[in-house]
């Protein structure tokens, strides 16, 4: 066996898998299926280490499951619509379509050398008309089911460029190109009725046993179920038609702490006042400044304006509360109006303090005296507090009990009713942009809004568009907009909004089961392959993408495109961390930062210090430098000394990126794959280091050398320690299997290091060594499939390692006859003993107490208690 040369073996095995169609997914009723899916990439043009990590994780699972006998589906596609393509067209000219498809071709070319076990015959891009046409068909089906509607919603409006901005395009409240202060403006937009499913999406979270707890919690908080009281204030001094003001509160127990009422600037009453009062108009305009993000709204200074209108307290008509318009009240939540209880709500407190409103306390800590508050007192609802202005239930009770009692009391008195509210808003899918899936509807003067006929689908994006002026090119396209009404045949106008790209990614997993079908899905295929058994992707998608997908699967079931079992499309979810790298920075003469690529700097140790310099220079001889500080200063003066900033997510702007292509070129795909799986637990960030990649390559070379050495052994060599080799191998099989099952790939790799080290030192019989290294190859195969195939074949393995059945550990080899037990005295480890594994606790106790070190430490003190945890530990309490 020659030297380890990834460049020779990797293309060879990739070709062998291609020829054998090893990874082609086939419906096989005789075998259990396994569908593993990684979140598909956006085709930015280059793959990065994050992709390598994500897809290697999925590949480990896919290859492992295939070896276990599953019929595996492991597809790949492209999340290809979105703003970057339009930005590229604006900046560099060209067309989003050409840019996108060129990027896809380039990324596919970069991905193939990784040796991923992907069924490439199922590949598609969401910008393929064959894909988005089916999406349009489903949109029409959803319209028919009442799951789609139109309403007004606010967008970021750039008053200079006269265009809608994405949140991302709003920087510090200003448009990214025009630098003009952004305004909020209302447009009529398309919505999916995800709120119909609020309760269902919440309760079904309980069934997602193999999702991370944190993701389920985040989704539950996002859906935000709350039980509260909705009631109406009677108003005085309000315009006609506004003699009642509906408000919603989750804390009806604090009704007697009300000191004001407040309405959203978007509330109908505010809008009415705006039209008749220039001061209100000016104030509301003020409120509408700034972006639409929750963060921008919440962190904005709280401002309010007294409307002069008063409301009567429902329990005491002598109490009048002022009605404010306040910028922190959201029209989308509850009734768009609240009563303010400053004593027990942080925002209300801030507001009341600012506008000099009273702050009546409703409850105080158990056993406390009433005091003047300098901040809102907001205990957990489960905490028991003393009510001093309560009106229902006991004086001493938990918030939960008080709220329930308050709702019951209010309902009995005819003041409002208990309602369950959700924070989850309907999904606004309208985007005023070109590069997305056209919404397949037509506006007719006579018939109104009409769905396009299905036989006219796909509604294709026109190719002849330009991006030289801001805004949606579809809006100004000379002919595309003009069409005929599918209903009456009159001249009509096509909808120019396109769909949110989250729609594209909400059903691609289902499409992979029948990627070339002329309907969105095919029942038999969906029935065989769904659900996704293991979904893998970034934690940044924990809420939106996953929630939208869960909704869309339900909508697809409601419209006959998915079986009932697929309404929760992802059985198991794994959220992986990012790949990070140190940042290398120098400063130019003007003090501006300059960032450097990792390959453009050199690091070395010098007098216990780590020094990083620009360029590819050899480390200096420390003995030759008299004054290291002066030497460093000189380097710094010439701008060659590099500041090292701790690891952060790889980003082009900080240049802390490592191109996977360079790593594959230098070390091969197996090294890249092994390294991204090895160092950190997969759910955490992994730091890419050049030394780590080096070390991985050295390790794989050692495995290769070991394989070579075993190959050179005479066939009849007897050696010693075959039983130990068998035991070490069995333990590695057990450990690697368990680790892959639990996504602890870093531990699987630690076990593989262990077995390799054992074998490298072993001198067993040729037969035992060959058997052990074949098993090692199989265990490595999910991580480093190419070198595994080479070793497998060289050592006489039958067929491809990729299709060989996963090894099983003989349970008899896994148990040791004796165990070592640490002995603690008062919880501190003082000694250890070795005992047969089945020894009864009473015997173990005797031996422990007789132990020399134990006797010494006890020094005759009486033993109060002795705890023996079999096979684990002994603790002596004195």
- The H-or-E segment that residue 595 falls in is strand 593-596
Choice from 53, 174, 184, 541 touching RNA (CB under 7 A): 541
Q: What is the C-alpha separation between 655 and 338, in angstroms, rounded?
A: 49
Q: What is the CA radius of gyration of the chain?
A: 34
Q: Which residues pair with 818 in a beta bridge?
A: 836
Would you say 230 and 246 are in contact if contact means Cβ atoms under 8 Å apart?
A: yes
In angstroms, give the least distance from the CB of 255 to RNA: 22
Choice from 227, 666, 824, 835 touching RNA (CB under 7 A): 824
Task: Name which of 346 and 445 has its Cβ closer to RNA.
Answer: 346
Choice from 177, 655, 702, 717 touching RNA (CB under 7 A): 702
Task: Name which of 213 and 468 has its Cβ closer to RNA.
Answer: 213
Read off the tokens for 712: 């050179």
Q: Rule CB under 7 A: is residue 432 a binding residue for RNA?
A: yes
In angstroms, give the least distance from the CB of 149 to RNA: 15
C-beta atoms surrounding 209 within 10 Å:
8
Q: What is the C-alpha separation between 148 and 401, in angstroms, rounded?
A: 39
Read off the tokens for 293: 């993000």
In angstroms, give the least distance from the CB of 867 to RNA: 4
Residue 553: which of 201, 224, 189, 205 has the closest Cα?
A: 201
Question: Which residues in 293-332 contact RNA (CB under 7 A)?
Answer: 293-295, 298-299
Q: How many residues appear in the chain?
A: 878
Task: Name which of 84 and 560 has its Cβ closer to RNA.
Answer: 84
Q: Which stretch binds RNA (CB under 7 A): 14-22, 61-69, 685-693, 782-790?
A: 685-693
In angstroms, give the least distance from the CB of 515 to RNA: 18
Q: Rule CB under 7 A: is residue 292 a binding residue for RNA?
A: yes
Q: Rule CB under 7 A: is residue 423 a binding residue for RNA?
A: yes
Question: Which residues in 148-207 contact RNA (CB under 7 A)?
Answer: 155-156, 164-168, 187, 189
Question: Which residues in 720-749 contact RNA (CB under 7 A)?
Answer: 744, 746-747, 749
Q: Rule CB under 7 A: is residue 420 a binding residue for RNA?
A: no
In angstroms, give the least distance from the CB of 330 to RNA: 9
Read off the tokens for 108: 């596919």
Choice from 12, 698, 808, 846 touching RNA (CB under 7 A): 698
Q: Rule CB under 7 A: is residue 469 a binding residue for RNA?
A: no
Question: Which residues in 574-633 contact RNA (CB under 7 A)?
Answer: 605
Binding string to RNA for residues 496 to 525, with x set by CB under 7 A, is what?
A: ----xxx-----------------------
Cis ω for the linkage preceding 531 (within 30 of 0): yes
Q: Rule CB under 7 A: is residue 689 a binding residue for RNA?
A: yes
In angstroms, give the least distance from the CB of 425 to RNA: 4
Which parts of 721-840 fold into alpha helices (H)?
722-741, 745-761, 766-780, 785-794, 811-814
Task: Name which of 13 and 42 has its Cβ closer to RNA.
Answer: 42
Would you say 710 and 769 are in contact if contact means Cβ atoms under 8 Å apart?
A: yes
Task: Name which of 240 and 301 has its Cβ closer to RNA.
Answer: 301
Task: Name which of 68 and 689 has its Cβ closer to RNA.
Answer: 689
Q: Which stretch binds RNA (CB under 7 A): 134-142, 264-272, 692-700, 778-786?
A: 692-700
Q: What is the C-alpha separation between 34 and 358, in angstroms, rounded?
A: 63
Read off the tokens for 36: 């593993």
Binding string to RNA for residues 230 to 269, with x set by CB under 7 A, is what?
A: ----------------------------------------
Q: Rule CB under 7 A: is residue 214 a binding residue for RNA?
A: yes
Binding string to RNA for residues 334 to 373, with x set by CB under 7 A, is what?
A: ------------xx--------------------------
Count of chain residues binding RNA (CB under 7 A):
92
Q: Rule CB under 7 A: is residue 47 a binding residue for RNA?
A: no
In angstroms, give the least distance from the CB of 755 to RNA: 10
Choice from 106, 161, 694, 845 touching RNA (CB under 7 A): 694
In angstroms, give the least distance from the CB of 475 to RNA: 13
DSSP labels, 32-89: -EEEEEEPPPP--SS--HHHHHHHHHHHHHHHHHHHTT-EEE----B---SHHHHHHH
Enter the DSSP assignment of 368.
Answer: P
The strand pair at 417-422 and 163-165 is best described as: unpaired
In angstroms, give the least distance from the CB of 678 to RNA: 7
Residue 674: which of 142, 92, 114 has the closest Cα?
A: 114
Q: Rule CB under 7 A: is residue 488 a binding residue for RNA?
A: no
Choice from 449, 539, 644, 713 touching RNA (CB under 7 A): 539
∠ CA(757), CA(760), CA(762), 5° rounding? 105
Would you say 481 and 409 are in contact if contact means Cβ atoms under 8 Å apart?
A: no
Spatial strand order of the sheet with 183-192 comes to 163-165, 148-158, 183-192, 427-428
Tell which phi-psi region holds residue 519, choosing left (phi > 0), alpha (psi between -120 and 50) or beta.
Answer: beta
Residue 683: which of 491, 500, 555, 539 has the closest Cα?
A: 539
């Amino acid at each position: 066996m020659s030297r380890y040369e990834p460049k020779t073996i990797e293309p060879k095995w990739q070709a062998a898998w291609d020829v054998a169609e090893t990874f082609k997914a086939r419906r096989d009723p005789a075998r259990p299926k396994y569908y593993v899916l990684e979140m598909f990439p956006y085709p930015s043009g280059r793959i990065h280490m994050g992709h390598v990590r994500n897809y290697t994780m999925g590949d480990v699972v896919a290859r492992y499951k295939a070896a276990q006998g599953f019929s595996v589906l492991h597809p790949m596609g492209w999340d290809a619509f979105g703003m970057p393509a339009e930005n590229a067209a604006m900046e560099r000219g060209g067309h989003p379509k050409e840019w996108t498809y060129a990027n896809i071709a380039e990324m596919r070319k970069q991905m193939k050398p990784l040796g991923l076990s992907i069924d490439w015959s199922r590949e598609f891009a969401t910008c393929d008309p064959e894909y988005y046409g089916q999406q349009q068909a489903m949109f029409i089906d959803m319209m028919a089911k009442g799951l789609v509607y139109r309403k007004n919603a606010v967008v970021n409006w750039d008053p200079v460029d006269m265009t809608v901005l994405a949140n991302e395009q709003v920087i510090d409240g200003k448009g990214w190109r025009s630098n003009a202060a952004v305004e909020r403006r209302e447009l009529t937009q398309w919505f999916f009725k995800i709120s119909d499913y609020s309760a269902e999406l919440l309760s079904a979270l309980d069934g997602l046993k193999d999702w991370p707890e944190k993701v389920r919690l985040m989704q539950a908080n996002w859906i935000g179920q709350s039980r509260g009281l909705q009631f109406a204030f009677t108003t005085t001094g309000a315009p006609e038609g506004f003699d009642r003001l509906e408000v919603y509160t989750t804390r009806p127990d604090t009704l007697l702490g009300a000191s004001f009422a407040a309405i959203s600037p978007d509330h109908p009453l505010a809008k009415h006042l705006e039209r008749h009062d220039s001061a209100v108009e000016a104030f509301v305009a003020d409120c509408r400044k700034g972006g639409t993000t929750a963060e921008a709204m919440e962190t904005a200074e709280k401002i309010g304006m007294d409307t002069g209108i008063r409301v009567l307290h429902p329990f005491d008509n002598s109490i009048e509360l002022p009605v404010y318009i306040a910028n922190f009240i959201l029209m989308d939540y509850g009734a768009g109006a609240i009563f303010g209880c400053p004593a027990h709500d942080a925002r209300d407190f801030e507001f009341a303090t600012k506008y000099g409103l009273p702050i009546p306390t409703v409850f105080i800590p158990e056993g406390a005296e009433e005091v003047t508050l300098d901040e809102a007192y907001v205990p957990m609802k489960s905490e028991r507090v003393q009510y001093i202005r309560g009106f229902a239930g006991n004086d001493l009770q938990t918030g939960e009990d008080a709220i329930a009692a308050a709702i019951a009391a209010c309902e009995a008195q005819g003041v409002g009713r208990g309602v369950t509210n959700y924070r989850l808003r309907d999904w606004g899918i309208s985007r005023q942009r070109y590069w997305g899936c056209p919404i397949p509807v037509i506006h007719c003067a006579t018939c109104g809004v009409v769905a396009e006929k299905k036989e006219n689908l796909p509604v294709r994006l026109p190719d002849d568009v330009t991006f030289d002026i801001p805004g949606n090119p579809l809006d100004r396209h000379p002919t595309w907009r003009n069409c005929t009404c599918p209903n009456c045949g009159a001249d009509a106008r096509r909808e120019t909004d396109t769909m949110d790209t989250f729609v594209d990614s909400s059903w691609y997993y289902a499409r992979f089961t029948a990627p070339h079908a002329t309907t969105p899905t095919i029942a038999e295929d969906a029935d065989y392959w769904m659900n996704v058994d293991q979904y893998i992707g970034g934690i940044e998608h924990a809420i939106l993408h996953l929630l939208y997908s869960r909704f869309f699967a339900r909508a697809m079931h409601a419209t006959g495109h998915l079986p009932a079992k697929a309404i929760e499309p992802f059985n198991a979810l794994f959220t992986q961390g990012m790949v990070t790298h140190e940042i290398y920075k120098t400063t130019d003469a003007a003090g501006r930062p300059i960032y450097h690529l990792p390959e453009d700097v050199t690091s070395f140790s010098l007098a216990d210090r780590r020094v990083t310099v620009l360029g590819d220079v050899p480390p200096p001889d420390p003995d030759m430098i008299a004054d290291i500080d002066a030497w460093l200063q000189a380097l710094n003066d010439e701008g060659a000394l590099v500041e090292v900033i701790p690891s952060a997510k790889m980003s082009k702007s900080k240049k802390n990126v490592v191109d996977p292509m360079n790593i594959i070129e230098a070390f091969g795909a197996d090294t890249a794959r092994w390294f991204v799986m090895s160092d950190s637990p997969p759910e955490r960030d992994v730091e890419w280091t050049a030394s780590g990649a080096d070390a991985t390559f050295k390790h794989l070379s050692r495995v290769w050398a070991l394989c070579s050495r075993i190959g050179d052994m005479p066939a009849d060599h007897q050696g010693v320690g075959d039983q130990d080799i068998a035991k070490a191998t069995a333990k590695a099989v057990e450990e690697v299997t368990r680790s892959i099952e639990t996504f602890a790939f870093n531990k699987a790799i630690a076990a593989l290091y262990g077995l390799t080290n054992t074998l490298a030192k072993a001198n067993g019989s040729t037969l035992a060594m060959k058997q052990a290294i074949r098993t090692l190859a199989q265990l490595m195969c999910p991580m480093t499939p190419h070198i595994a195939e080479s070793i497998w074949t060289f050592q006489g393995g039958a067929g491809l390692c990729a299709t060989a059945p996963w090894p099983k550990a003989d349970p008899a080899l896994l148990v040791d006859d004796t165990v070592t037990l640490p002995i603690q005295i008062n919880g501190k480890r003082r000694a250890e003993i070795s005992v047969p594994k089945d020894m009864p606790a009473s015997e173990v106790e005797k031996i422990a107490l007789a132990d020399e070190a134990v006797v010494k430490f006890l020094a005759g003190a009486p033993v109060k208690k002795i705890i023996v945890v079999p096979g684990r530990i002994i603790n002596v309490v004195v």
